[in-house]
């Protein structure tokens, strides 16, 4: 069982991912803004983080940069799940330290596979 | 009637209206809050069922959940809102399952009827729903509403066609725009471009065909969208448009598209445009396109364009040279050092480039 | 003598009553038009339209122009909140208008700015010398350092000169924008690209709302009565006045706190009038003037959705200064565009909007103050009896309250801005209290502004260089 933190200000997406990933056998913590998300990540030390970009208090990019600064969390894979769809946005997402980038609207099944792939690639 | 009576009537009227309005606002607010509470309760029931259904339908044992959702009848519009909120966020099979539930509830059929309503708001909502669900049975309805009297309804129909997204929808959209009817009730180009972009590859045939349309707007839209979608078979058609189309916006759109498609076969046409084109914006776009293609044959004409009399062209040409890598940068440095025409643009672009790549410029001013 | 005085006072009082009846009835007509437009906008507002706008790579880019003078404490968070807006393509052009604090340093540190040789477009004339230009690595942020010319308009012109996108957004450095603010005001441009020349968003006072990192956490009313009354004023002015004017294309003011313009048109009229006290109204009227003169079919649109929140003065002294400046500025603008007033060539602007602002906005304080003087005089000389005086007052005040209540109701029904019951109560009380003290004070401030405009105007207008106006300045002297 892997632990996953989902940070998204959209309650539908939070709810959906909570159910979906729990059904897939993971333990999920969901937060609605960047700050709470960062706190949850520090607390849980998850195996994967799913991050929205545009959120109140702290953007996903900032959360990711914070993670990368901290050596103890620099290796946690981050998957951006965002409506920002321009080429330059994707570049910025990866530049900030993202490991994968999924554009909304998204397919929950695809996302689930991507998370599995990230989990498989990360040594534990 | 004396002044005093008039005043008295006015004052009383004011007072009555103030009180009535304050009270009805309060009543309205109270009703709204009651509904909102009810709405929340319904959502609290409905949401977990919906989420569990979406999370587990794949395993094949979610039929009972589907039945609950199909049979659900709330007092408020909680179900519709939940679905309307979810649809635009999802893609793929999960989305299809959601649409399937809508269909089995009869919501799609209701919306198709709704497009015939006398009330613009009804037609608007109906066509929005057909678009959100993205069901092909909505194409005839949405196409019909392209000629609606109400602007918002027409725009909603355009968006719906984009979301439904088939070749048929694209053809319907472009044909309508090129018809007489579109003159009576115009549709702005921007929402149309987005609809066509959403339709994507399925729109290709209709787009290539309409590159020759009568309407300037349609030709412009087609040129731009073909570029963004990356439709390579359209290159020769676009080259013709860029050179000979009588409309500036079409030539501009075609130049943009040729740049996006970046085919070496466009170089001759684009360099010819640097000589013959008269519109500054179009020349600048041709420079940018040449930069994207970065074919060595276009270096000399671009260098000349750096000395163009108009600053927009100068900067565009200098920016294009950057795309050639070291060769282009060397040329730019030469131009920058000369105190000739275009030196300013070269220096400006070199400086910008040095920021982007974080190197110091190799010349001193 | 007594007879004469008596008939004068009675005559004047009747005039005042007729004036207010006309004013408020006209306003009610505007309100009705506004209500229709409002209802339509509300029922057909669309999230899918915003989504499409956001996802389209062909959506026009927006340059956000931010004049900043000594904004060290807040500038970084302002820029961050602009960058965080939901919009696909935007740049922020900040003009450091000769700040004497660390405005530039904090920007440079936060955004890793680098010196650039970017040149001005050279279309609009500017006053303050530009010292240097700095760009962030991704090119999204441009900072121009210039000498202060004591004119907001000049700073905006400089920003305009260095911006590159087809739409320019003018905002105050301390405005707090909703996440979708830009999308809402850009929509008119893409839905009607041939005609829309400018659009403005609704402004609300932010006092009392808890904020964090440039975002509003909850919408609440201010704690003090002066700003609470201003909330009512803003509701009235934006939800009723501007929606109504916009519905028949007679919008005269787009607030400088948040407005969007087509860059080419702003350039064509020579940018902002650098020395104007009301450069926002000046710009909008410049556009009306130019486009009407050229007989173009155009729209200047107001977007009623509350999208921009701004700090209003809590302190009466500062408020007084602000209102005096507005009044002076209005006089200035009307004076400058007087060629349009009552000129059928300028259509509704000339025949209706500007005359309305002249008679019912600019001159209101005079009538109001005279009315205030006449009432006790009439009583003292026994010309008016108590009942009549009370009735006069009741009608004048009642009408004012009625309009406020309409605005409060519209806001509550359409936007549900304030969630708490307490806030609705406070707004209604504020609408009532406004008429006892605040309204009279306001009239007095406006009168003073008007006076300083009349007194100082000619000298000031004579000696100040009229920068950047090639076309309209000629008309103003005709």
ipTM of the complex, rounded to two decimals: 0.85
Q: How far is CA C293 from the centre of its chain?
A: 24
Give the CATH superfamily of C59-314.
Spore Coat Polysaccharide Biosynthesis Protein SpsA; Chain A (3.90.550.10)
Between B43 and C380, name the one with better pLDDT.
Answer: B43
Beta strands in B183-341 (DSSP E): none
> Cα–Cα distances in Å, from B280 out to B169, B314, C236?
36, 10, 46
Closest CA to C106 of C73, C137, C134, C136: C73
% of chain C exceeding 90 in pLDDT: 28
Strands A78-82 and A48-51: parallel
With CB atoms and an 8 Å threshold, state whether C388 touches B224: no
Residue of A nearest to B49 (CA): A19
Region B345-360: mean pLDDT is 62
Q: Indicate the pLDDT class of residue B354, thresholds 50, 70 and 90.
A: low
Range with lowest mean pLDDT among B249-253, C214-218, C438-442 = C214-218
Range with lowest mean pLDDT among A101-110, B178-187, B354-363, C209-218 = B354-363
Per-residue confidence (pLDDT) for residue C476, from 0 to 100: 30
Between A77 and C382, name the one with better pLDDT.
Answer: A77
> In the predicted model, is pLDDT for residue C28 greater than 70?
yes
Region B327-341: mean pLDDT is 82
Per-residue confidence (pLDDT) for residue B219, from 0 to 100: 95
Sequence-ordered list of residues with C-beta below 8 angstroms from that of C318, at least 6 positions apart, any chain: none
Could you give the CA distance from residue B268 to residue B9 in angstroms, rounded to a whole number?
A: 82
Per-residue confidence (pLDDT) for residue B339, from 0 to 100: 67
Per-residue confidence (pLDDT) for residue C217, from 0 to 100: 80
Contacts of B162 in chain A (CB under 8 A): none
Q: Indicate the pLDDT class of residue B11, thresholds 50, 70 and 90.
A: confident
Place of tokens 């194409």: B139
Does any domain span residue B292? yes
Per-residue confidence (pLDDT) for residue C462, from 0 to 100: 32
pLDDT tens figures, C208-262:
888 876 778 888 899 999 999 999 999 988 887 888 888 878 888 888 888 999 9
Could you give the CA distance from residue B67 to residue A120 in angstroms, rounded to a whole number?
A: 37
Region B199-212: mean pLDDT is 92
Could you give the CA distance from residue C310 to residue B79 in angstroms, rounded to a whole number?
A: 37
Closest CA to C279 of C240, C232, C333, C242: C333
Contacts of A58 in chain C (CB under 8 A): 213
> In the predicted model, is pLDDT for residue C152 greater than 90?
no
Mutation site, C58, C392, C426, interface B, largest B CB count within 10 A: C58
Per-residue confidence (pLDDT) for residue B352, from 0 to 100: 65
User: Which of B47, B56, B94 is nearest residue A15 as measured by Cβ atoms?
Assistant: B47
With CB atoms and an 8 Å threshold, state whether B55 touches A19: yes
> Cα–Cα distances in Å, from B47 out to B42, B108, B295?
8, 21, 56
Phi, psi of C58 (to 5 degrees): -95, 5
B268: domain CATH number is 1.25.10.10
DSSP letters, C262-310, are: EHHHHHHTTS--TT-TTHHHHHHHHHHHHHHHTT---EEEEEEEEEEEE
Does any domain span residue B229? no
% of chain A exceeding 70 in pLDDT: 98
User: Which of A54, A83, A86 is nearest residue C84 as measured by Cβ atoms?
Assistant: A54
Question: Are B215 and B181 contacting, i.e. CB atoms less than 8 angstroms apart?
Answer: no
> In the predicted model, is pLDDT for residue C197 greater than 90?
yes
Strands C176-177 and C215-216: unpaired
Closest CA to C180 of C64, C60, C305: C305
The total of other beta-carbon atoms located within 10 Å of residue B149's CB is 11
Indicate the length of chain C as a whole number: 478
Residue of A nearest to C213 (CA): A57
Q: Indicate the pLDDT class of residue B361, thresholds 50, 70 and 90.
A: very low
Question: Are C157 and C269 contacting, i.e. CB atoms less than 8 angstroms apart?
Answer: no
| DSSP letter assigned to residue B90 | B
- Cis upstream peptide for A105 (omega within 30°): yes
Sequence-ordered list of residues with C-beta below 8 angstroms from that of B314, at least 6 positions apart, any chain: B305, B306, B307, B308, B341, B342, B344, B345
Question: Are C284 and C199 contacting, i.e. CB atoms less than 8 angstroms apart?
Answer: no
Per-residue confidence (pLDDT) for residue B85, from 0 to 100: 85
Does any domain span residue B210? no
Does any domain span residue B273? yes
Closest CA to A53 of A83, A73, A77, A74: A83
Helix (H, G, I), strand (E, B) or coil at A103: strand
With CB atoms and an 8 Å threshold, state whether B21 touches C402: yes
With CB atoms and an 8 Å threshold, state whether A57 touches C215: yes
With CB atoms and an 8 Å threshold, state whether A56 touches C86: no
What range does the domain containing B325 cover? 262-365
Whole-number mean pLDDT of chain B?
88
CB-based contact, B86 to chain A, within 8 Å:
yes
Contacts of B82 in chain A (CB under 8 A): 12
Indicate the length of chain A as a whole number: 124
Q: Indicate the pLDDT class of residue C466, thresholds 50, 70 and 90.
A: very low
Tell me which H or E stretch contains B304: helix B299-306
Question: Are B72 and B42 contacting, i.e. CB atoms less than 8 angstroms apart?
Answer: no
Extract the tokens encoding B94: 């999960």
Does any domain span residue B120? no
Does any domain span residue B267? yes
Min distance B213 CA to chain C CA atoms (Å): 20
Closest CA to B99 of B71, B70, B60: B70
> Cα–Cα distances in Å, from A70 out to A67, B76, C15?
5, 48, 75
Min distance C91 CA to chain A CA atoms (Å): 13
Enumerate the domain spans of chain C. Answer: 59-314
Could you give the CA distance from residue B342 to residue B339 in angstroms, rounded to a whole number?
A: 8
Phi, psi of C179 (to 5 degrees): -55, -40
Cα–Cα–Cα angle for B209, B210, B213, rounded to 5 degrees: 125
Strand order, beta sheet including C299-310: C114-116, C130-135, C141-146, C90-97, C62-68, C167-171, C258-262, C196-205, C299-310, C176-177
Question: Would you say the C-alpha torsion A116, A120, A122, A123 has a positive or negative sign?
Answer: positive
pLDDT tens figures, B209-229:
999 999 999 999 999 999 999
Contacts of A106 in chain B (CB under 8 A): 89-91
CB-based contact, C41 to chain B, within 8 Å:
no
Could you give the CA distance from residue B197 to residue B192 in angstroms, rounded to a whole number?
A: 9
Contacts of B29 in chain C (CB under 8 A): 412, 421, 424
Cα–Cα–Cα angle for A73, A76, A78, rounded to 5 degrees: 125
Per-residue confidence (pLDDT) for residue C319, from 0 to 100: 92
With CB atoms and an 8 Å threshold, state whether B17 touches C114: no
Angle between helices B189-199 and C181-191 (to 10 degrees): 100
Residue of C nearest to A59 (CA): C84
pLDDT tens figures, C367-413:
888 888 877 877 887 777 777 778 878 887 888 898 899 889 888 88
Region B74-94: mean pLDDT is 85
Q: What is the Rg, in whole angstroms, of the alpha carbon atoms belonging to chain B?
A: 29
Could you give the CA distance from residue B219 to residue B147 in angstroms, rounded to a whole number?
A: 20
Per-residue confidence (pLDDT) for residue B351, from 0 to 100: 67
Region C273-285: mean pLDDT is 86
């Amino acid at each position: 069982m892997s632990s996953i933190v989902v940070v998204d200000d959209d309650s539908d997406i939070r709810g959906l991912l909570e159910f979906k990933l729990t059904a897939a056998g993971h333990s999920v913590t969901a937060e609605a803004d960047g700050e709470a998300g960062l706190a949850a990540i520090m607390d849980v030390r998850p195996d994967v983080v799913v991050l929205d970009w545009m959120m109140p208090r702290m953007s996903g990019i900032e959360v990711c940069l914070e993670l990368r600064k901290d050596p103890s969390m620099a290796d946690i894979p981050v998957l951006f799940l965002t409506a920002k769809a321009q080429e330059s946005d994707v570049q910025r997402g990866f530049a900030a330290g993202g490991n994968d980038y999924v554009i909304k609207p998204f397919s929950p099944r695809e996302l689930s596979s991507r998370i599995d792939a990230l989990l498989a690639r990360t040594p534990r | 009637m004396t002044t005093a009576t008039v005043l008295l009537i006015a004052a009383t009227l004011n007072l009555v209206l103030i009180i009535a309005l304050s009270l009805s606002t309060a009543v309205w607010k109270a009703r709204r809050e009651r509904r909102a509470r009810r709405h929340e309760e319904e959502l609290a029931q409905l949401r977990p069922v919906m989420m569990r259904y979406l999370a587990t339908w794949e395993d094949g044992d979610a039929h009972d959940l589907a039945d609950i959702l199909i049979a659900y009848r709330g007092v408020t519009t909680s179900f519709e809102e939940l679905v309307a909120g979810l649809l635009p966020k999802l893609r793929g099979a999960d989305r299809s399952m959601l649409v399937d539930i809508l269909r089995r509830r009869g919501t799609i059929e209701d919306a198709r009827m709704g497009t015939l309503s006398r009330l613009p708001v009804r037609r608007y909502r109906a066509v929005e729903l057909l678009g959100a669900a993205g069901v092909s049975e909505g194409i005839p309805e949405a196409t019909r509403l392209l000629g609606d009297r109400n602007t918002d309804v027409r725009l909603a129909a355009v968006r719906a066609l984009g979301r439904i997204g088939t070749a048929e929808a694209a053809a319907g959209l472009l044909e309508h725009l090129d018809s007489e009817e579109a003159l009576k009730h115009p549709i702005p180009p921007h929402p149309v471009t987005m609809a066509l972009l959403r339709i994507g590859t399925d729109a290709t045939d209709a787009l290539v065909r309409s590159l020759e349309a009568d309407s300037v707007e349609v030709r412009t839209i087609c040129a731009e969208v073909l570029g963004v979608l990356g439709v390579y078979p359209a290159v020769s058609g676009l080259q013709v448009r860029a050179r000979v189309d009588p409309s500036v916006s079409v030539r501009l759109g075609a130049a943009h598209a040729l740049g996006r498609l970046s085919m070496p076969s466009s170089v001759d046409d684009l360099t010819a445009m640097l000589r013959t084109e008269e519109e500054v914006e179009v020349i600048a776009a041709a420079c940018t396109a040449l930069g994207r293609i970065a074919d060595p044959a276009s270096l000399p004409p671009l260098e000349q364009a750096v000395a163009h009399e108009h600053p927009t062209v100068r900067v565009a040409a200098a920016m294009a040279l950057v795309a050639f890598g070291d060769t282009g940068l060397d040329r730019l440095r030469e131009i920058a050092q000369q105190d000739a025409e275009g030196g300013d643009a070269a220096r400006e672009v070199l400086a910008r480039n040095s920021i982007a790549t974080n190197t110091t410029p190799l010349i001193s001013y | 003598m007594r007879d004469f005085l008596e008939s004068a006072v009675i005559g004047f009082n009747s005039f005042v009553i007729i004036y207010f009846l006309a004013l408020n009835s006209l306003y009610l007509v505007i309100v009705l038009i506004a209500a229709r437009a409002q209802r339509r906008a509300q029922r057909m507002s669309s999230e899918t339209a915003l989504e499409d706008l956001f996802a389209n790579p062909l959506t026009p880019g927006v340059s956000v122009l931010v004049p900043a003078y000594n904004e060290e404490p807040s500038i970084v968070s302002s820029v961050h909140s602009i960058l965080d807006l939901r919009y696909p393509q935007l740049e922020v052009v900040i003009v450091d208008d000769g700040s004497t604090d660390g405005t530039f340093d904090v920007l440079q540190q936060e955004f890793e700015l680098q010196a650039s040789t970017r040149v001005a477009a050279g279309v609009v004339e500017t006053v303050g010398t530009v010292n240097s230009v700095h760009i962030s690595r991704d090119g999204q942020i441009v900072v121009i350092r210039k000498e202060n010319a004591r004119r907001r308009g000049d700073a905006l012109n400089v920003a305009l000169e260095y911006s590159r996108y087809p739409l320019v957004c003018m905002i105050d450095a301390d405005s707090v924008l909703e996440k979708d603010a830009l999308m809402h005001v850009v929509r008119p441009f893409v839905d009607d690209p041939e005609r829309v020349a400018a659009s403005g968003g609704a402004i609300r006072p932010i006092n009392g709302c808890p904020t964090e990192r440039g975002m509003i956490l909850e919408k609440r009313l201010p704690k003090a009565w002066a700003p609470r009354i201003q909330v009512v004023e803003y509701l009235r002015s934006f939800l009723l006045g501007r929606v109504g004017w916009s519905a028949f294309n007679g919008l005269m003011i787009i607030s400088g706190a948040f407005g969007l313009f087509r860059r080419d048109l702003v350039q064509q009229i020579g940018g902002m009038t650098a020395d104007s006290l009301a450069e926002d109204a000046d710009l909008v009227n410049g556009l009306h003037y130019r486009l009407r003169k050229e007989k173009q079919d155009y729209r200047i649109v107001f977007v009623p959705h509350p999208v921009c929140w701004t700090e209003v003065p809590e302190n009466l002294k500062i408020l007084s200064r602000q209102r005096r400046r507005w009044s002076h500025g209005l006089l200035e603008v009307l004076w400058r565009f007087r060629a349009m007033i009552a000129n059928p060539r300028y259509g509704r602007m000339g025949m209706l909007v500007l005359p309305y602002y002249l008679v019912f906005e600019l001159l209101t304080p005079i009538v109001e103050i005279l009315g205030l003087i006449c009432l006790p005089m009439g009583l003292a000389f026994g010309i008016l009896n108590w009942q009549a005086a009370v009735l006069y007052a009741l009608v004048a005040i009642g009408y004012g309250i009625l309009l406020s209540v309409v605005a409060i109701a519209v806001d509550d029904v359409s936007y549900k801005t304030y969630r708490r019951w307490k806030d609705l109560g406070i707004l209604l009380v504020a609408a009532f209290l406004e008429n006892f003290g605040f309204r009279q004070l306001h009239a007095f401030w406006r009168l003073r502004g008007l006076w300083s405009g009349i007194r100082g105007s000619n000298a000031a207008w004579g000696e100040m260089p009229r920068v950047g106006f090639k076309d309209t300045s000629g008309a103003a002297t005709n």
